[in-house]
Chains A and B, each alone.
Chain A
Amino acid sequence: MATKKSSKRSSSTKRGSARARASSASAQSESIIFVGSSAAQIESMRAAKRSASARLLQTQQSSTFSALAASTSPRPEMNLVGVGLGEKISGGKHTGVMAVKLLVRIKYPDNQVSDEERLPTEIDGHPVDVEQVGTFRRFMPPAPMPNPRTTINPARPGCSIGFRDPNNQFIMAGTFGALVRKGAKRFVLSNNHVIADENQLAIGSPIFQPGFLDAGNPPQNRVIAKLSKFVPLVVGGNNKVDCAIAQLTSQNAATNPVLFIGPPTGKKPAQIDMVVHKFGRTTGFTVGRVTSVETDVSVQYTAGVVSFQDQIIIQGLAAQPFSAAGDSGSLILERSSNKAVGLLFAGSTTHTIANHIGDVLSALGVSLVI
């Protein structure tokens, strides 16, 4: 209740102060809303407000009323949510008259209010202004950010995945980009280097969630898919995509909504200045802007420098990086439509590089599960 009251008060005085600033240049008095009032008048108004507040405003949680209750009634104990001081507004017009403000959830027509429910028209000789403000609520906390490096079952795009190094030299993790299909078969889509180890892994190799880098020791992860197909990366050649698919070990091993973002609604070509977002294993949810849709890049791989033609370049908004190591494989979607535009695969500390999603899907012969 205490926080409720203070938020009401600030909202009612704000309107008064803006008005006072507009109407008077001599804003030097003790409180800006009382411009032109004497000290005695001000104290009298405040006393009236305290009196109305004590008399009318519900301060105890009653058994029948909750601040968030959906039901309404003209009864003051249910309808009155705040008491303050401010300018009386009549028929939408400022009157220049200071009043005790009674803030109600709903302003009922006079004929729907019984005599005992009726709010006073004046308090201790001061005018009353009834203002409808709706129901005050706490601002909702933001939706919790999921941790993509944990076990997520069924697996969802945005979470950590990876392969097991056959030589046990390293442990790694990348990002599950999207659920894709060919006929009735369902596949995990990610980069070649995330689920096929740059052409090195045998078809049928297990794909784990989370990737071994995130699985702890001893590893707490599970097989969700088996490598089905990759587009070979060619060192010294001209590449378009870094992508691969792994067929789910069971139909319910993964679902299609991207963590935090939701399911893709389709696909469309990226455009310069398009605002995009992604959820990835390392940086989670980030928002960026497309700066180019046809940039040729030279990218450092384990096997050497791999050249890609006509790639998408993205920069994070608000000078935040759009991606970091471990985000490879993330699906990039247009922020306003959630249509998929790219598959993240490379970058520097300042720039992110993605394949065009249309090139990825056609190279693999699959479509997005939407």
Chain B
Amino acid sequence: MPWYLELLRAVAGTILIFSGVAVIAAMFGVLLERKISAWIQSRLGPKHVGPQGLLQTLADTLKLLQKENIVPRRADPVIFASAVIVVPLAALLDYVVIPFGTTRAGPLIFRDLNIGVLYFAATSALVVVGILMAGWGSNNKYALLGGLRSAAQMVSYEIPMGLALITVALLAGSLSTVTIVNAQAGLWNIVSQPVAFLIFLVAATAEVNRTPFDLVEAESELVAGYFSEYTGMRFALFQLGEYGEMFAMAAMAVTLFLGGWRGPILPPVLWFVIKLYALIFVFMWVRWTFPRFRIDQLLGFSWKVLIPVALLNLVVTAFFVVVAHR
């Protein structure tokens, strides 16, 4: 292909993924979250805007677009402004390596990097840089505490997540996400690696700062955590980053453990979406069921439970794959 066609393809793919994530993950995700929380708490949830409240988030976004943009006098204006771009961008960079489905022409993926899993680990950890920037740049005590807690959380849960990723990569013998999905043709990884799946799920919940690990934005003590000082559209962009990251984590869990787009009868993309939303539902169910951890419990759980278990799981898997297999 000539270079300008490649460029056009890349730009078109980017725009497609960005708008898809903004609409499906952020807008529809927020609505889904509100509906599921309402269902769990025996309420009705948003009901008035559009049929069954379907257009509620659209209305909210239009409202936020008209709000004034306030930069506190004592904040660091450059860091304060750029954090808004870093958080959603870091979350959306994850989607480069997620295979959404497959067609006759090949898998539907933005780019099948040969180090896809490592790339995912790197970009998903980038979000914390944006959160720290927001926390520090706001010059607000609540925001600073939220940012520092986010760093503590990332520092602890990055390692069990990485160990779970390595275990899966070991099973497939590759870091490419497409190869990992193809390696699950016979048996989904959730069957052979239930421990790694659980570790990944817990670490993912912690990395996206959701209850029971939502100390970063614990509203009862930190107002809104790192985005306390942000108004209007900037607040909405943080929401986009947060929900984009959650959908990316769920999509990665589907890719690594639930066989990606694989499934009988229905088209591959549909299977991917079904599994994705099943996991999203689990994330939301957990959020509205469990109370929040204390920070010492949170760090202790990672270092004293998850990391030893993940290390043991890796050694046992390595034994079966490398030694016993021969």
Tell me if chain B binds chain A.
no
Q: Which residues of B does A touch, CB under 8 Å? A: none
Q: Which residues of A does B touch, CB under 8 Å? A: none
